Structure 1
Amino acid sequence: MLTSRIAGRDWRPVVGMCDGYRYADFIAQSAELMRRYPTLCRKCIGHSVLGKSLDCFVIGNGPEQLHMNGAVHANEWITTPLLLRFMEELLECSIAQLSEEITCLLQRVTLWIVPMVNPDGVDLAQDGIGIAERDWRSCLLEWNGGRDDFTGWKANIRGVDLNDQFPAHWETERERRQVTGPASQDYSGAEPLSEPEARALAELTERVDFSRALSLHTQGREIYWNYRDHEPPQAEELADRMAAVSGYRAVKLSGSDAGYKDWFILKFRRPGFTVEAGEGKNPLPPEQFASIYEDLAPLLLEFIRG
């Protein structure tokens, strides 16, 4: 495991969390990671509805391109520091030459990570309507059913569920959801890729030739690897290996469309995965961060191995 290879050295991780994880935490920790690891490349791939930068980190210099993303759903914000910690430990193992395997992996692959796809939603789910301009607040309260508690909010700031936004039987998913306007979750939007966050992720994916992709969500300790029989044969085998090293369960899913993983498989016919990390009720508590990461890190490493 990555952590065990670092343990015993005078090393303190940059990435961690206390009472939650907001966009400001992401920006601060990202800046420190850039300072500590000069080889780390950071690219802006777009902006959220409220103008926050959608950042992608690129590590490795191999010919095979891989992708991971997190915090697509607002109250699944714990996925951002989980991905950042994994990235940090990969960098530390490589730069400090603690693992020949990881050094070789990062010479074979280039990993593109978008840790926080939905920064407006992440802040809204934790801090409520105070994060929005006044002209947004009445709408947000209405879309949240009149409640001022936004901890259950999954959508972006416009009430669109970003994981129902992708052009993979989008109409079928919209009909299944039966949510016709902005809401805390399950509203697919007026059309596919109407939201800047989903559009930025799709444009990145179309621009870079990813051989496989993984979207990190919570919760359930499950790995979804298929989509309407469009997935390649090796997808199930890789999902089984990811499950074996983590204790998660590889699940053949049906009755779900318009997610990032669905679109990636449908469009490119390559392995795509949705991983539901941890167990419990969203948002998962910060106290679970360490235990979730312990099981998740070997899963993510197996994904990179391919």
Structure 2
Amino acid sequence: MVESAAAYDYGAFRRDLALLAQRYGQLRTEMLGCSVMGRELLCVRLGSGPRRVHINAAFHANEWITSLVLMSVLEELAGADEQNSLFAGRSARRLLANNTLWLVPMVNPDGVELVLHGPCSAPPLQCGLLAQNGGSCDFSGWKANIRGIDLNDQFPAHWEEERARRFVPEPGPRDYGGEAPLTESEAQAIALLTLDVDFHRAMALHTQGEEIYWNYRECEPPEAEVLAARMAAASGYKAVKLADSDAGYKDWFIQLYRRPGFTIELGCGVNPLPVSQLPQLLGAARAIIGELLED
């Protein structure tokens, strides 16, 4: 049902989510807010278990394939639950009896539309976007939201240090964290969801590098490293203890709650990764998420 033959834009995501919600009655969708351009930021919930788990994708515009990966995982998990079959070698019903998932498959819809369809996707900002992109109509290197702010540098976890380290003084394609933390509606929506639900585990899907980041400034609990090692063994990825990186969603989550939080860098190559990599990306994501949902 999830369309995987072409680049995955906001329209494809909305269409697929509506079809999945119609097909699987156990899915519940809600709007968290709107992007800068007014696109709905949508969350889908699945499961009924006591452990509350959050997974998001497409914080970065040119990593839009992570939305397709997460939507494909959602379809597989909901289907396996309905059919009482396996997901990642485990009973899907057992996983969803133990966990409740809140998934946000496309955090940065304006940025995704910009990468895939160019500045015509944001007519009021077209001239400014072209200027920020060096006059080029090729936005394939754009990571930021439509205002040129990197949403994964927007969280209040040593934000000032990350800004000084990046030393990017103004909006543009990547690495500008804004004038302050949580100025952007998309980052605000994810932060509010996190605070409202009080997740036990959280994960952000990114590309690329085939790495699993699991720590933040010694704030992570001991089980995070163990869980990351299991994810690495299941996927073939490398669990990495990261240093000199701040202000990301995973960083803020770990700092705030002292609970397991992860950034997954799916695949290898140059962003945006091609749809032809989807089977490999999905295989790794399936294995990693299976471990995330395990006891």
**Structure 2 unpaired stretches of 5+:** none
Residue 248 of structure 1: CA displacement? Answer: 0.4
Q: Secondary structure at the match of 2:200?
A: strand
8 Å Cα contact 2:207/2:267 also seen in 1: yes
Please give the root-mean-square deviation of Cα atoms over the aligned residues, in Å.
0.9
In 1, Cα distance between equivalents of 2:115 and 2:91:
39
Does structure 1 residue 58 correspond to structure 2 residue 45?
yes
Does structure 1 residue 214 correspond to structure 2 residue 203?
yes
Deviations 1:81-120 (A, max 9, x none): 1011111111111111123722011111100000000000
1:241 to 226, 230, 233: 230
1:1-306 matched pairs, under 5 angstroms: 14-99=1-86, 101-133=91-123, 135-306=124-295
Deviations 1:246-294 (A, max 9, x none): 0000000001000000000001111100000011000000111112112
In 2, Cα distance between equivalents of 1:209 and 1:263:
13
Equivalent residue letter for 1:116: M
TM-score calculated relative to the size of structure 1? 0.94
In 1, Cα distance between equivalents of 2:285 and 2:107:
19
Equivalent residue letter for 2:71: L
Number of residue pairs matched by the alignment? 292
In 1, Cα distance between equivalents of 2:122 and 2:203:
30
Residue 18 of structure 1: CA displacement? Answer: 2.1
Deviations 1:200-251 (A, max 9, x none): 0000000002001000000000000000111011100000000000000000
Deviations 1:47-99 (A, max 9, x none): 10000010001000111100000000000000001011111111111111123
8 Å Cα contact 2:85/2:91 also seen in 1: no
Q: Secondary structure at the match of 1:136?
A: helix
Deviations 1:130-153 (A, max 9, x none): 1012x3111101111221110110
In 2, Cα distance between equivalents of 1:305 and 1:101:
10
Deviations 1:14-72 (A, max 9, x none): 11322301000000101110111011100111110000010001000111100000000
Work out the percentage of aligned pairs sharing the same amino acid.
52
Q: Secondary structure at the match of 1:305?
A: coil
Q: Secondary structure at the match of 1:191?
A: coil
**Structure 1 unpaired stretches of 5+:** 1-13
Q: Secondary structure at the match of 1:275?
A: strand
Equivalent residue letter for 1:207: D
